[in-house]
A and B are shown apart, each in its own frame.
Chain A
Amino acid sequence: DVKVTQSSRYLVKRTGEKVFLECVQDMDHENMFWYRQDPGLGLRLIYFSYDVKMKEKGDIPEGYSVSREKKERFSLILESASTNQTSMYLCASSASQPQHFGDGTRLSIL
């Protein structure tokens, strides 16, 4: 089975902090994705990557950046966390489709 592991289930940070969310997949997938999930809004794509060191903006990239130095790891970075970034963050990976999701990180910015 595909395993997508997000480093934290719950995270609490303060406004202005730089925040790192980590995601690792064990299936040698080329494609990795970061989404955020908010009540009533569904999932929205933040960034995705189709290869090491490659990245593409999704629908809501503002306030975020990503890093993919190794194929199995895709990091989401909140450069200066703000309260409106409080959300559930989901990482996914795929070779083709469907995408396989991690358990999510519930991030609270105080």
Chain B
Amino acid sequence: ELKVEQNPLFLSMQEGKNYTIYCNYSTTSDRLYWYRQDPGKSLESLFVLLSNGAVKQEGRLMASLDTKARLSTLHITAAVHDLSATYFCAVDPLAGGGGADGLTFGKGTHLIIQP
């Protein structure tokens, strides 16, 4: 059974600081996704990581994937209040899967960025 663990689950940080959210998973997979969810809203896709060593950046967020360590990170640089949200990582349970399979999600990291 695939397990996906995120940490931390709660994070309060100040604007301007850097921080990293970690996502570990338990079985072989080369497809990992990061989503953002604002309160009362649906999930928005942030990053799709499809191979070992993949790195994607969008604004102040950067995601990376190390399939050998079964680890993905979401790094926040110089945080701003607008990045406050819950962030989920999700893993495709089938290595090389074509997208027809359901994802296994982490429990989410609730991020609060204070002025």
Contacts and interface: CB of A to CB of B under 8 A. Distances in A.
Interface in B78-115: 88, 90, 92, 98-108
Given A42-B108, A102-B42, A48 B102 contact: yes
Contacts of B25: none
Contacts of B102: 33, 35, 45, 48, 56, 58-59
Contact of A42 (B42, B98, B101, B107): B107
Given A42-B88, A42-B107, A98-B48, A90 B43 contact: yes
B14 interface: no
A50 B43 contact: no
A48 B102 CA distance: 7
Interface residues of B, number: 24
A33 to B, nearest CB: 5
A100 interface: yes
Interface string B38-71: 0001111100101000000000000000000000
B65 to A, nearest CB: 13
A47 B45 CA distance: 20
> Chain A interface residue count: which class?
20 to 34
Contacts of B35: 98, 101
A27 interface: no
B101 A48 contact: yes
A100 B99 CA distance: 12
Interface of B: 31, 33, 35, 41-45, 48, 50, 88, 90, 92, 98-108
27 contacts: A30-B100, A31-B100, A35-B105, A42-B88, A42-B106, A43-B43, A43-B88, A43-B90, A43-B105, A45-B102, A45-B103, A45-B104, A48-B100, A48-B101, A94-B99, A96-B98, A97-B31, A97-B48, A97-B50, A97-B99, A98-B45, A98-B48, A99-B99, A100-B45, A101-B42, A101-B43, A104-B42
Interface of A: 30-31, 33, 35, 40-45, 48, 50, 56, 58-59, 90, 92, 94-104
